[in-house]
Amino acid sequence: MTDAPYIFISHSSRDADITAFVADGLRAAGYACWVDVASIPDGSTWPREIEKGVRECAAMVVVHSANSVTSDWVLAEILLAIELKKPILIARFDDTPLPFVLITRQANDLRTRRKAGLKRLAERVGTMLAAAPPALSPVQVARQSPDPNRHNFFLYVEQLPDGLELARIARDVFQFAKASADNITFSGRTVPAFHAHAEIGIGGVVMYSLRAYQKQPVIEIPLQYFMEFPPFDDRAVRLDTLARINALLPASGRLDDARADKRPSVPLSVLKADAALADMKAILGQVAGMLKGKVKS
């Protein structure tokens, strides 16, 4: 590898053809590229050379595909680049939702008109390398964090299928949680989520979570965690809560009684109607009230 500034190409090994397309196009535009198979010397330690490649690069281009989102190597390379504050651009080759850590980054569409998309990508690489790093506001810094928070969680939900509607519901539930929970936390880079906590017992308990699964975001009520807290130590109370959850679900999706001792969930997709969402919040409010001793079962 030359000592000149270069672009690190992060990709899945299963995407050799499209990775070569990106690397060849960037080289034709005058940029040196680091691609693991070609750039790691024989006999070198693979992880060490990849880490060095990321640390010393001028910028990173992520070849985004269904293959790359399941690659632990790609995720590790992206997280290191974020930690090092490297410029990151995305070459998007299919409709797979962007992973959480990339939702606030510049995505370049190469799904159809690949040559035109590659040309725009090369131009943006040049612009990015020539520009001084902009001063970011605290909110912009938070949005670019690789960890879920209230500034980037909903951006992630928005880019899922039917994302704008699901994000509307998620924001509504978050605002409800702010008013009814003692604390709200975020977690999960692979499946981002927020959790509404009650400060009861030793260490408190999660009353409900909104988990942004790519295929189907859900609200989860962890009844199994409530068993030590009255009135949920009575299984009849847990079964009553489960019955209220089932009333929201289509007949084909209703849950059996065993879920009263587990973590039943409700897909956000069934809460699009105002009445359904209001009923869901009523269930969450009742759960919070009973756990805190403010509502009788």
Residues 57 and 161 both lie in one domain:
no
Same-domain status, 217 and 90: no
Structure tokens at 245: 């959850």
**119 and 171 inside one domain:** no
Rounded to two decimals, the pTM is: 0.84
pLDDT tens track for 23-55: 999 999 999 999 976 544 444 456 888 899 999
- Do 67 and 159 belong together in one domain? no
The SS3 of residue 251 is helix
Q: How far apart are CA 115 and CA 110, in angstroms?
A: 8
Same domain, 29 and 80: yes
How does 117-141 read in b/e, with b if 16+ C-beta sit within 10 Å? Answer: bbeebbebbeeeeeeeeeeeeeeee
Give me the tens of pLDDT residue by residue for the chain, a chain 297 residues long: 445 689 999 999 999 999 999 999 999 999 999 997 654 444 445 688 889 999 999 999 999 999 999 999 999 999 999 999 999 999 999 999 999 999 988 799 999 999 999 999 999 999 888 876 777 788 888 888 889 999 999 999 999 999 999 999 999 999 999 999 999 999 998 899 999 999 998 889 999 999 999 999 999 999 999 999 999 999 999 999 999 999 999 999 999 999 999 999 999 999 999 999 999 999 999 999 999 987 665
Q: How far apart are CA 19 and CA 108, in angstroms?
A: 14
Domain membership flag for residue 235: yes
Tell me the C-alpha distance between 176 and 284, whole Å. 9
Q: Tokens 């994000």 label which residue?
A: 167
